Structure 1
């Protein structure tokens, strides 16, 4: 017998075969028909989740919730502003019927122009508030399109808050900047790009 013969009792010692008293470290194989789950702690933002769907947070991040609340606050301020502008238009219309001003041609022309502009502004301000409510309501189910639209909305609102300052106001600017920042952060991107199966709120 040669020393290469595995049955040779005088040959070099042989390594034990797998299964004879020594557990072997085998790479874990995924089960049949099911993809392997990623290790715990790696199913966060941007990581693949179960079933082949892209991962993402299961609950709305705090800064995204804050942005949604701020949108609703902006909407409330818009409604208040629309009411105030409408009251101004009504006041100008009532002043037109004043006996002392009835014969003042210049005032009548200015009143006609002002009341018409104020009513138009009322509609615009109210529509902007409704749009803010729509965006906030879509935070639970909307995708990246809602995120981008919200950022554009917030930037425009912030600019309008700077000029004309009296029409929109500093509060609008601060809230709009915060909305744009919170939605634009990585947590906001992960939330709006998450899998919608099932959609979490």
Structure 2
């Protein structure tokens, strides 16, 4: 057996001289041959290990884990409406009492003609509206899609009632109602209220 034989399976690979170079690395400038370990390029998967596609999150990252900003803003607006409703309830109640007492005073005959039942009805409406807004705002963390629909209806009705009969004084309620309806009705609102609950 001769190392010079090109067909000898026990000899060095083609183009290499026996005893040349380090036993673990092929000589410089030559391709690695039989008996020398192959080096994998960095970032490439090894033999037998298929490369997995990169993990990608969907748009928005799936179900939200914290309340989106627009939904939180709608919740704050509901609490603002609660504050206005408390103030309105007190003012309408004071007005109804004042009109009732003015009926006995001849100096306020014009007020005496005003029906106090309407003032008391508006007082009750303001109170109920405030309680409804407070209930919705309190349930934003735990409520589902039904609460979202209810908040959407609340926002729309608030905007409609603000237009008539409270046109001048209802501008703030009009803006708040529209914003609440938009914020709970958009995709962030849908994602928040339809998120899975464990």
- Is this a same-fold pair by TM over 0.5? yes
Correspondence list, 1:24-103, <5 A: 24-26=48-50, 39-42=55-58, 44=60, 47=62, 56-98=63-105, 100=106
User: Is 1:190 the equivalent of 2:197?
Assistant: no
Residue 117 of structure 1: CA displacement? 1.8
CA contact (8 A) 1:160 1:168 kept: no
Distance 1:192 1:135 in 2: 12
Q: How does 1:115-194 map to 2 (within 5 A)?
A: 115-166=116-167, 169-194=170-195
Does the aligned pair in 2 maintain the 1:155–1:180 contact within 8 Å? yes
**Runs (5+) with no aligned partner, structure 1:** 1-8, 10-19, 29-37, 48-55
Q: CA deviation at 1:165?
A: 2.5
Tell me how many residue pairs correspond in the alignment: 155
CA apart distance, 1:119: 1.1
Tell me the distance in 2 between the aligned counterparts of 1:136 and 1:167. Answer: 26
Shift of 1:25: 2.9
The structure showing larger relative contact order (alpha-carbon pairs under 8 Å, at least 6 residues apart) is: 1
- The alpha-carbon distance between structure 1 residues 88 and 107, as it changes in their structure 2 partners (threshold 3 A), is closer
Q: TM-score, normalising length from structure 2? A: 0.69
Which of 37, 47, 64 is residue 23 of structure 1 equivalent to?
47
Contact in 2 for aligned 1:101/1:107 (Cα 8 Å): no
Q: Which runs of 5+ in 2 are unaligned?
A: 1-8, 10-36, 39-45
Q: 1:166 to 1:82 in 2, by over 3 A?
A: farther
C-alpha RMSD over aligned residues: 2.8
Q: 1:12 corresponds to which residue?
A: none
**TM-score w.r.t. structure 1 length?**
0.68
